[in-house]
Every structure is written in structure tokens, then in C-alpha cells.
A = this chain, B = another copy of it.
Amino acid sequence: MMEHTVKAFDDDIGELRGLIAHMGGLAESAIEASMVALRRHDLEAAQRIIDGDKEIDALETEVEKLAIRLIALRAPMADDLREVVAALKIAGVVERIGDYAKNIARRVPAIDDRGHIEPLSLLPAMASMATDMVHDVLDAFAARDPEKAVHVCEQDRAVDDFYNSIFRTLVTFMMENPKSISQAAHMLFIAKNLERVGDHATNVAEMVYYAATGEYMGERETGDTVPIMGN
């Protein structure tokens, strides 16, 4: 391949990576903002998060168009082509993380704290763990750093444990506060969304690892975490 073609490919893939980093930053901020809106029962802030998701969706479309153009014009081979397809997939996952922030924001009107739903205070802590994973995996992606990717995967167990603990806390809360069951049910879904954000960060970490090393990180279970408790 001629030198100028390699350079052009590198420029394009650099642009692709830049778009994904931008998407990731927006998704991470949206999750954090959803927690603030939730705690403050701030409906306007929630609406801004919902509206803002369109920007993330638009960036994914841009990644897709650029990837198609890149494939059509540069005809990348083997590893390069695999990298473009990986970027497409990672953009898809980041878009889904943005969707989780939107979904959380849509539950803000359904949860009116007024200080009496104690388990609500656990969600921002869980969100921080999940957004840290998103932040770290985007760093790993930018630096093509497989060790950092492994580290992200290791964090996922803590998020899963946190989720299981919140599930149990919320079920107990529901038993003791039947009038708040509907609100607590929405909080269950929010906790589940955050758990899935951790899973998606793990999925991206596995893609980053594969792209950097050519090897699979090893089978990891990132399906739905299902706490089993007594009836």
C-alpha cells in the first residue's frame, strides 16, 4: 500500500476514534446528570438529558457514515478492516449507554423523593462505579491499552454486587412501605440500567482487548444479574 494511502487511513480511523471518544464523554455525562436530576426531582434537567440523547444518536450515525466511506474509499484489509468494524460496534454500545441515561431520566417524574425513600441514596454511588468503568474503557480504547481493558472488566463484579445489594434493599423497602412500591419499582429499573452500563463497558473492554492483542480475554458472563432471595 502506498504511503499516502496509509496516512489517509490513519487520519480517517483517528477521526472515527475521536467521534467515539466524544460520544463516550456525552454518555458518561448524561448518566451523571441523570443522578443529579433524580436526587433533585428536577424535571427540566431530566428533559434536557432526554433531548440530549439525540446528539449521541447523531454521532453514532456519523460514525457509521464515516466507517462506510472509509471502507469504500480506502478498502482496508484484514486488521484495519477489523478495526473499523470494531469501531462501529463500540459506537453502537456507547449509543446504548446513552439510552440508559435517557431511560433513567424518563423515570425522574415517577420518583418524588421528599426525603422518605432511603434506598435512593445508593443509586448515585452505583452510578459512579458504572461511569468510572465507561470512562476507563474509553481511555483504554484511546490508548489501545489491553491491561486497562482487563482492569475495567475486573470492576464489573463490584457493580454486580452493588446491584444485588440494592435489589435486596429495595424489596425489603417495598415490604415495609407498600405505598411507595411503585416508586421503588422504578428505582429497581434504574439500578438494573446502571448494572447494564457496567456490562456494556465490559463488552467494550473485551473489544478493545481483542483489537489490541488479537486474542480473546476469556469467557466472561455479562448477562442480566439475577439476585435470588427467599420468598
Residues of A within 8 A of B (CB): 64, 67-68, 71-72, 75, 77-78, 81-82, 85, 88-89, 92, 99, 102-103, 106-107, 109-110, 112, 167, 170-171, 174-175, 178-183, 185-186, 188-189, 192, 223-224, 226-231
**A68 proximity list for chain B (CB < 8 A):** 81-82, 85
Contact B226 A107 (CB under 8 A): yes
**A92 proximity list for chain B (CB < 8 A):** 89, 92
Docked complex Cα distance between A42 and B181 (Å): 29
Contact B82 A226 (CB under 8 A): no
Most buried by B among A78, A81, A102, A171: A171
**A175 proximity list for chain B (CB < 8 A):** 178-179, 181
**A106 proximity list for chain B (CB < 8 A):** 223-224, 226
Other-chain residue from B103, B180, B228 in contact with A223 (beta carbon distance below 8 A):
B103
Contact A223 B77 (CB under 8 A): no
Other-chain residue from B107, B110, B223 in contact with A102 (beta carbon distance below 8 A):
B223
Contact A71 B64 (CB under 8 A): no
Distance between A69 CB and nearest chain B CB, rounded to angstroms: 9
Docked complex Cα distance between A172 and B67 (Å): 49
Docked complex Cα distance between A5 and B51 (Å): 45
Smallest CB gap from A50: residue in B:
B223
Docked complex Cα distance between A82 and B78 (Å): 19
Contact B188 A181 (CB under 8 A): no
**A77 and B72 contact, Cβ closer than 8 Å, known pairs A107-B226, A231-B183:** yes
Most buried by B among A92, A180, A231: A231
